[in-house]
Structure 1
Amino acid sequence: MRKILIIDALNMFFRCYARDPSISIQGNPAGGCIGFMKSLQKSIRLTKPDDVVIVWDGGGGSRKRRQINANYKAGRKVVHLPKDMGYDFSLQQEKDNKVWQQARLLEYLDHLPICQFMFEDVEADDVIAAITQSKGVSEDQKIILSNDKDFMQLCDDKTILMRPAKKPWEILNTNRILEDLKIHPKNMALARAMVGDASDNLPGVPGIGFGRVVKFYPFLSRDEEYSAQDLFNATNNLLQEKKSKYLEAVLEHKDTIHENYRIMQLYQPSISYQRRQMINNCLTDRDKHFNLTGLKLMLSEDGFMSLKWEVLEQTMRRIISE
């Protein structure tokens, strides 16, 4: 079985930008860029993939979800350079450096024989969901690399989630999710719609966490898809047996649950048919070019050629040979 490594690019970039103190030979902070390349090599070493797909958020990617909820992702903290680097940058200087690092990283990645996607007005979550559903890789194992818990809903017998924020990196599959949360991936978006997601500024039902979701709705652990209406029907039945302010809150916040579910669900990703075709074509029928000379030239220009890149080079050679 082939293995496809799918990387949530902005998630990885910001993690490296905030932690990696690397400085280019010109004296510019470069941890987001070169840290990404080092993390890419580490993920390749751990997963040994047959292909690599890197997915970026498109410009205005959250626009469709903000049409549902104007406060979606509002108030997110700005990711800053590591404090111990000692740079006294203004906010504008730091923003300029961040843009430079991302642009430089895209140049690095363009030398590799990988798939790379960025669609205007489309979030990476929707593209990654479309990749896992692509007919061209239906029989392949998909490994999603991201700390974003939204991807738990995509886990199945062919798809797993690897979360690098944990040490060692956490690997989540259907069985692990059921063991830890008692919620089946098919019903994860519905459960999270009740709980909410503070990182995306989506409040849930007051007083409802995963513990009470499991207590009140144990059927969500089944390998069967349930709807919000199934949830509300079960809630009414429970209230006939015993009064509960938490169950009453669920019914009082029906609109919140419906709205959160529309934003959170990835079972039907918000992406056009044409873009799905582009994804499938890249995965199955693209020309694979590996510009090793260009890659080494960039590493030399930035002062990072002395780092060991053998695993990255060997894997890229294997990808173009298939």
Structure 2
Amino acid sequence: MNTHQGAGFRRVAVLGLGLIGGSLLHAVRQTGVEVVGFDTDPSTAAAASASGFAVAPTDSAAVHGADLVVLAMPLPEVAGAVRSLGPHLADGVVLTDVGTLKAPVLTAVRELLPQVTFVGGHPLAGVEETGWDAADALLFRDAPWALTVEDDTPVPAWLRLAELTCDLGARPVPTTAAEQDAAVARVIGLPHVLAEALALTGLAGGALGLSLAAGSYMSGSRVARTRPELVSTWCDGNLALVDALDDAIGHLRSARDALAADESVYPLAEAGHAARINWEHRRFEPVEVPAEPEALRRHGRIGGWITAVLRDDDEVRLLGMRPA
């Protein structure tokens, strides 16, 4: 059985060579696919070129002849990039991105490039370090990678992108833009907001508290080391984060009220402990997933992902994992 026949991309253009885009440039090259990069920052472009990568002088030159174009620039720059790329994209090109929020990108593409096939993407593989120097070809190994499948998403294009992400060692998770954004509000946006609040609260305790700060403070505030402009792009405009914050504030208020009444925070500690341990000890089972939009979305909704795209002539089989 041939896992690549008629499916693989021939030329991939990565626009934006920071941590994610730079790592993607490294990882795609290791699969044997031709890949070219572009970055608006001359020093970043020069560093990538000095590392032996093909780097185009303009975004239009980068996408010339590419059958997959990856938008890897910060979210505020996406609409402008989409607008400028329109005349230069090849027929049949697949456009994707790697940003945290999917709805704003989907809206921009539908408004500015309605004729282009778009599959939103979000590899959940970031670290606090940023920029080309932090790029790592192994960054995506075993990382969840959200791939949006809307009602108008062509399944063949989605399958090609899922196959590539599997080749990068990632775990493609089918979802919609709206469901993805609601989910990451709780597992990305909220942790960052809480980390910033913890860092400030710890600072307000004075020099003695900071001199005693150790593992709990360091772990809880770790992602507060992330560049503020990135954090804001992951949070701003995502109304689902309001609901997530309301839930978190409710838990904090309960703990505050218990302490004020000389009662225990044990109920919160017990519930939180169980939630974390149960998440760590989840069990999964292999399944075959129908290659149609609603089945894919349902698979992602229950916590499943794709492990392989198998092709035999015109037949396509999707193998995946789901919670047991």
Q: Determine which structure has the larger helix proportion and give its number.
A: 1
Structure number with greater CO (CA < 8 Å, separation at least 6) is 1
TM-score by length of 2: 0.30
TM-score by length of 1: 0.30
Q: Determine which structure has the larger strand proportion and give its number.
A: 2
